[in-house]
């Protein structure tokens, strides 16, 4: 629904760039959400992968790149969006006169909305930015109306034992949806390694799993989410799907992530109430 709304035609400003390019995963999502299809010259590889790209369907038919400076220079774009860690590539391209905007990872929903507005303005479609930011606010309001007094404690526990603390977008999305983040409660601030022993000691109500549809890359570390110690140490913890494409980046996926977290919380709350009432 969000993606369809963002595809609605709008009148671009006179100085809108005609040739836009993305060389970063999260830049892909903002460009796909806010630019006209005809504006997009190229997207960073992975734009069509549903495991990491929320708007993967919109990427169909658009050329992909590897993020190399040579590819950018050859494409002659008017505007390039790079990622937080593309500093060297950004500086190199700027020496060749390429206009580059380096996008940082938002850590709060307020930062997501601010970035949406800024990118929409740069692309010449400010109304799309307002529309998406408004949708985010609407989902937050809807989630608040459904959040009861019993907030489950949940944790996104990823391959190799990584989780996300209080200074991350994942934490902000869980909080907006009505889930208390175990990693934050245990003092973690950033994306960090959480040993299995610490996870079990925290006794979360919910394990939010992004590998139900398969890990991004087959590897031994991804199997930790199915470690027998989790089943033995957390026998009553529920498992719920929280796809990585929903929370990896801010943008069009943010409303869906808030709603998904809220649905998970609401289901837990309903079952808790039924349990207290003695109903199955």
Among residues 181, 178, 155, the alpha carbon closest in space to that of 242 is found at 155
Task: Tell me the average pLDDT across 98-108.
Answer: 97
User: How is the chain split into domains, by residue range?
Assistant: 2-105, 147-276
Confidence of residue 19 (pLDDT cuts 50, 70, 90): very high
Exposure class string for 76-97: b at 16+ Cβ within 10 A, else e: ebebbbbbeebeebbebbeeee
Confidence of residue 6 (pLDDT cuts 50, 70, 90): low
**Cα within 13 Å of Cα(238), Cβ side:** 15
CA distance linking residue 83 with residue 151, whole number of Å = 35
User: By mean pLDDT, which of 145-159, 205-219, 257-271 is the weakest?
Assistant: 205-219
pLDDT of residue 270: 85
CA distance linking residue 123 with residue 127, whole number of Å = 11
pLDDT of residue 84: 92
pLDDT of residue 12: 56
Q: In this structure, which CATH number among 3.30.470.10, 3.30.70.260, 1.10.8.290, 3.40.50.1980 belongs to the domain 147-276? A: 3.40.50.1980
First to last CA, the chain: 34
- How far is CA 173 from each of CA 80, 125, 185, 246, rounded to the nearest angstrom? 28, 26, 15, 10
Category of 164 on φ-ψ map: left (φ > 0), alpha (ψ -120 to 50) or beta: beta
The second-level CATH assignment, the architecture, of 2-105 is 3-Layer(aba) Sandwich (3.40)
What is residue 18's three-state secondary structure? coil
Same fold, 2-105 and 147-276: yes
CA distance linking residue 115 with residue 276, whole number of Å = 43
- Cβ atoms 101, 82 nearer than 8 A: yes
pLDDT of residue 279: 55
Among residues 7, 11, 269, the alpha carbon closest in space to that of 145 is found at 269
Query: What would you report as the CA-atom Rg of the chain, rounded to the nearest whole angstrom?
Result: 20
Task: Tell me the average pLDDT across 224-249.
Answer: 88
Confidence of residue 229 (pLDDT cuts 50, 70, 90): confident
Asked whether residue 171 carries a pLDDT value surpassing 60, the answer given is yes
Report percent pLDDT > 70 for the chain: 86
> What is the overall mean pLDDT for the chain?
89
Asked whether residue 5 carries a pLDDT value surpassing 60, the answer given is no
The predicted-structure confidence for 182-221, as pLDDT tens digits, reads as follows 999 999 999 999 999 999 999 999 999 876 554 455 444 4
β pairing state of 64-65 and 40-44: parallel
Higher per-residue pLDDT: 228 or 25: 25
């Amino acid at each position: 629904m969000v993606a369809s709304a963002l595809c609605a035609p709008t009148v671009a400003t006179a100085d809108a760039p005609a040739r836009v390019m993305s060389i970063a995963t999260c830049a892909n999502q903002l460009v796909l959400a806010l630019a006209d299809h005809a504006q997009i010259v190229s997207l960073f590889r992975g734009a069509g992968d549903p495991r990491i790209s929320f708007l993967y369907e919109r990427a169909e038919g658009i050329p992909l790149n590897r993020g190399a400076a040579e590819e950018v220079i050859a494409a002659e774009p008017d505007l390039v969006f790079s990622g937080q860690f593309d500093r060297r590539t950004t500086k190199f391209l700027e020496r060749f006169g390429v206009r580059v905007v380096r996008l940082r990872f938002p850590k709060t929903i307020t930062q997501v909305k601010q970035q949406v507005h800024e990118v929409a303005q740069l692309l010449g479609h400010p109304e799309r930015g307002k529309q998406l930011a408004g949708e985010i606010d609407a989902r937050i309001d809807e989630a608040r109306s459904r959040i009861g007094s019993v907030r489950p404690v949940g944790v996104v526990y990823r391959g190799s034992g990584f989780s996300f603390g209080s200074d991350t977008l994942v934490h902000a999305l869980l909080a907006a949806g009505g889930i208390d983040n175990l990693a934050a409660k245990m003092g973690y601030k950033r994306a960090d390694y959480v040993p299995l022993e610490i996870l079990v000691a925290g006794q979360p109500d919910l394990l939010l799993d992004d590998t139900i549809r398969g890990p991004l890359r087959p590897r031994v570390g991804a199997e930790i989410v199915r470690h027998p110690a989790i089943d033995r140490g957390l026998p009553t913890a529920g498992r719920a799907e929280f796809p990585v494409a929903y929370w990896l980046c801010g943008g069009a996926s943010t409303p869906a992530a808030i709603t998904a977290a809220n649905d998970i919380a609401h289901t837990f709350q309903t079952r808790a109430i039924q349990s207290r009432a003695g109903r199955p």
